[in-house]
Structure 1
Amino acid sequence: MNHTEEIQSIKRIVYYILGVIEVLLAFRFILKLLGANPASGFVSGIYTMTNIFLSPFTGIFRTASARGVETQAVIEPANLVAMLVYAVIAWGIVKLIEILKRPNKV
């Protein structure tokens, strides 16, 4: 594997991890917004998996909710902030890797 392929592989891994986190947080956002039943196994699993990623951002903004006839819709701004922050962090990591892996020109 040459130098360029190695850098590309590392970048793909970073963006893959970001993608997984972003998809999980997007599921959480949609499930909360639609008032999904937290007793459901799938919903509970998503909430459990995403709590660790959301916890640093909880409390930045207040959570809004609207009660319907059968469900309660919840808007978690912290979820959107987390998605943005993780995307910026991943971008920063990739840029740092590119800087550190540049061939030395003397």
Structure 2
Amino acid sequence: MTEIIKETITTKENQSNPVVTTPVENDGDSGNPILTTQVKTGASNRETIEYGIYFLFGFLEVLLAFRLLLKLTGASLSSAFVRFIYGVTGIFILPFEGIFRKGYAQGAETTSVLEPSTLVAIIVYIILAWGIVKLLHISSGEKQSS
């Protein structure tokens, strides 16, 4: 779980009027004691879930970006890394196959492929992650900031 530590330094001239100051050394001239208070706050369950959602979808976006780049550069399928990326991301672009035609460009040794389905998948998964987090905000019942 994420832990946030906030340190506040307060000087008190008298008991009824506390003044918050920036962290400074007590030079001994003012005679005011400097009090240090540490407040530890952990991330709520909702925030932890949000971080997890953004992490998972962010990881998927990186894999899809690798796929797009490898296809555009005509990467060889004989590489284990290329086969791994294509294998893992293949299932995530399946719903978007056939929306647009693939573009091919023949090079001297390789064929570059532009897969619009990968671009559509990247956009859809970004919006999906954002929508899930917004739905989580709405269902939590907390007041939303504008």
Establish whether TM, by shorter chain, passes 0.5: yes
Tell me the TM-score normalized by structure 2.
0.67
Q: Identify the structure with the greater strand proportion.
A: 2
Say what the alpha-carbon RMSD is for the aligned residues.
1.9
Aligned pair count? 104
**Aligned positions of 1:87-106 closer than 5 A:** 87-103=126-142
Matches of 1:77 and 1:101, distance apart in 2: 36
4+ residue stretches of structure 1 with deviation over 2 A? Answer: none
Report deviation, 1:6: 1.3
Calculate percent identity across the aligned residue pairs: 49
Q: 5+ unaligned residues in a row in structure 1: which ranges? A: none
Report deviation, 1:14: 0.4
1:27-85: CA deviation from partner (whole Å, max 9, x where unpaired): 00000000000121000000000000010000000000101111100000110000000
Matches of 1:90 and 1:21, distance apart in 2: 11
Matches of 2:127 and 2:104, distance apart in 1: 28
Give the number of the structure whose alpha-carbon radius of gyration is greater: 2
Q: 5+ unaligned residues in a row in structure 2: which ranges? A: 2-40
